[in-house]
Copies of this chain bind each other. A is one copy, B any other.
């Protein structure tokens, strides 16, 4: 059996009891290590599981998935995935390959940022499509995500904005020379993301925005303010990764504003909610 097991958002204890039982009984345990990061290292997972954990980088999951799956045809193999197996990054491809090889599969779900974002007080029902902001380079500035934000804004819906992560990337030179030397991981900061958003929504500086850092961890932190306010905070104001942003849509409900006001930088949160979003604020 091939198991895809979600690890949740923070550390070794965020796995479900069901997932842990499977891991403890599996013949081989892989940890997908390139689309996201868990906040703990492999050794801590191994100690907690009592099992050896094999890091599966992009190469392995994409090119050696047949090797992973070949073991699954005769024994139980678990691939651990940060968040939920079908969260921001999906793992449908390896399930399709397993299906083609007639290997039975099972999935153990867990929290992902796609639902844990509700921690900021906004209703999941009022979110439109989620977007991912990629790092821009001097020569490559993809902006399809901007159109998607505009679509949500047009409907008055909130937008969950996920920030780019570069893990185990090779430099262009190392890639060209076939050298397996990896750059240190890079995580887009809210400052970078906000400046990219601001470049497109310059006429909407009074848009309300939430910056969420390390959701589901003991150091979770949320800041609420206008696009202009958050974009001018110092780069280190948000602390270490992971970060995500929420752009508040015009259909926002007074209770959502009230809940998030706990994290407001200053009174502008309520002022803009009242004057720009026309939210009925009970009292200030």
Contacts and interface: CB of A to CB of B under 8 A. Distances in A.
In the complex, the count of this chain's copies comes to 2
Contacts of A12: 17
A50 to B, nearest CB: 13
Contact of A132 (B21, B115, B125, B157): B125
A129 B123 CA distance: 10
A128 B9 CA distance: 23
Interface string A82-101: 00111110101101100100
Given A84-B111, A115-B115, A151-B155, A13 B21 contact: yes
A279 interface: no
A14 interface: yes
Given A109-B216, A115-B115, A116-B86, A128 B125 contact: no
A20 interface: yes
A37 interface: no
Contacts of A90: 118, 123-124
A12 to B, nearest CB: 8
A20 B95 CA distance: 30
Interface stretch (A168-176, A237-245, A255-263): A255-263
Interface in A133-150: none
A167 to B, nearest CB: 19
B109 A114 contact: no
A16 interface: yes
A109 B9 contact: yes
A272 interface: no
Nearest to A109: B111
Interface of A: 6, 8-9, 12-18, 20-21, 84-88, 90, 92-93, 95-96, 99, 107, 109-112, 114-119, 121, 123-132, 151, 155, 157, 216, 255-256, 258-259, 262
The 7 closest A-B pairs by CB, nearest first: A86-B118, A109-B111, A13-B18, A13-B17, A114-B115, A115-B115, A109-B116
